Amino acid sequence: MNGIYLKLYKKNVPTKNKMKQINNYIKYALILILLFLSYLILKPFLTIIILSLTIAYMTFPLQKRFRKYLNENITAGLLTLALLLIILIPIIILGNALLTETTKLYVSTNQETFQTLLEKINITLSPEIQSHLNEITKTATSYLMSGLASFIFSIPNLIINFFIAIVIIFFTLRDGDKVINKILEIFPIEETYKQKFIKRITTTLESLFYGIISLSLIEGFVALIGFYLLGIKSPLILALAIIMTAILPGIGATVVWIPLTIFALIQGNITQAILIALFGSIILSTLIDTFLRAKILGMRANIHPLIVIIGVIGGLAAFGPTGIIIGPLVLSLLELAIEIYRETKHEY
């Protein structure tokens, strides 16, 4: 009888392999939970984190070169300071210029000025049209004021993002090698394939990073020439605005040429408004912002234009502004993973 109970007991007691398997499940579940909670914590700052990591990753070769002569902390600090100055100085200059030009434009297109313009060209508005004009003016004024208020309330958030960017860039530059090595140790694949993934990530990020900068400069230069020939005031300031907004596909240039078209119509310059609309829609938004973007962004890493277009559009829809980098990078890595699978499938 005791022998029967002993057999039943041994049968119900978990073996070492089963306990090890259960512990592994618990371990993996804990890691997934922590990853999800970490994502929730980092989600509000995901854009600035990815952008800062990309900038630091692109600057890391300079860190390697300069730290041969200087302490790694000093090198990382100097490069971080230089990067922030390169980014902040143009933004401050452009922001101040745009604020000045917007103020002048608002003053020159208010209701009284518009009414004076209509009187000069002998146009009389009916009471209904005048009422609609008053509503449009009130709406525009309210929109400008709400935009200004939103910007003022967002200043604390901008300061936090600025601080996060400084910290991420500094420590990524200082400890980049160590972090990359620790990440690579996690992946259970052969060293050859790890190096392929590193190379693909590097070339893709370089292609996207330098491609976006090149595209912005090209679009800004073309806009400068076009606005100057069309007789638009302050073409340099507007071209700088396009350079700053060209990072967003299909949106960047439109936030400049569409308002210019509307203001030209309001001021009675019908021919100029039509020319601005044609120049903006055909040359800036279609030729440069769509077709040239796909070619330039994938050129350095030899990425197919279709991957770039789908990656950018899908990435924007899924991740917001950071999707411009995440989308093409993920699809490019998927392409590499499929290539590796095709090479190694006969081994299984």
Residue 19 forms part of a structural domain: no
Q: What does the buried/exposed string (b/e) look like for 266-286 if buried means 16 or more CB atoms within 10 Å of the residue's CB?
A: ebebeebbebbbebbbebbbe
Which stretches in the chain have pLDDT values below 50?
6, 8-9
Q: Is the domain of 301 the same as that of 211?
A: yes
* Shared-domain flag, residues 128 and 161: yes
Let me know if residue 250 belongs to a domain: yes
Alpha-carbon distance of 130 to 142, in angstroms, equals: 18
Is position 129 within any domain?
A: yes
Q: CB of 297 within 8 A of CB of 210?
A: no
Max Cα-Cα span within the chain? 115
Residues 68, 205 share a domain: no
Q: What pLDDT does 123 receive?
A: 54
Q: Scanning the structure block, which residue is given the tokens 């914590």?
A: 41
What is the separation, in whole angstroms, between the first and last Cα of the chain? 50
Q: Is residue 125 part of a domain?
A: yes
pLDDT at 138: 58
Answer yes or no: is 11 within a domain. no
Residues 157 and 210 in one domain: no
Decide: residue 294, CB within 10 A, 0-12 exposed, 13-18 middle, 19+ buried: buried
202 and 172 housed in the same domain: no
Domain tally, the chain: 2
Same domain, 221 and 333: yes
Question: Are 200 and 332 in contact, with CB atoms under 8 Å apart?
Answer: yes
pTM exceeds 0.75: no
* Judgement on whether residues 292 and 320 belong to the same structural domain of the protein: yes
- If asked whether residues 198 and 71 sit together in one domain, one would say no
Rounded to an integer, what distance in angstroms lies between the CA atom of residue 229 and that of residue 240? 16
Q: State residue 247 phi and psi, 5-degree precision.
A: -65, -25
Vertex 330: Cα angle to 326 and 335 (nearest 5): 150
Q: In one letter, which amino acid is 324? A: I
**Distance in angstroms (rounded) separating the CA atoms of residues 246 and 253:** 6
Tell me: do 317 and 347 sit in the same domain: yes
pLDDT in the model for residue 250: 64
Q: Write the single-letter amino acid at 87.
A: I
pLDDT of residue 42: 84
Q: Would you call 39 exposed, middle or buried from its count of C-beta atoms within 10 A (0-12, 13-18, 19+)?
A: exposed
List the structure tokens of 9.
């007991």
pLDDT digits over 58-91, tens only? Answer: 787 778 778 777 788 888 888 888 888 887 777 7
Enclosing domain of residue 321: 189-348
Here the tokens at position 77 are 């600090």
CA distances from 142 to 109, 138, 153, 263 (A): 15, 6, 16, 18
Q: Which helix (H) or strand (E) holds 188?
A: none
**Would 25 be classed as within a structural domain?**
no
Contact status, residue 56 vs residue 169, Cβ threshold 8 Å? yes
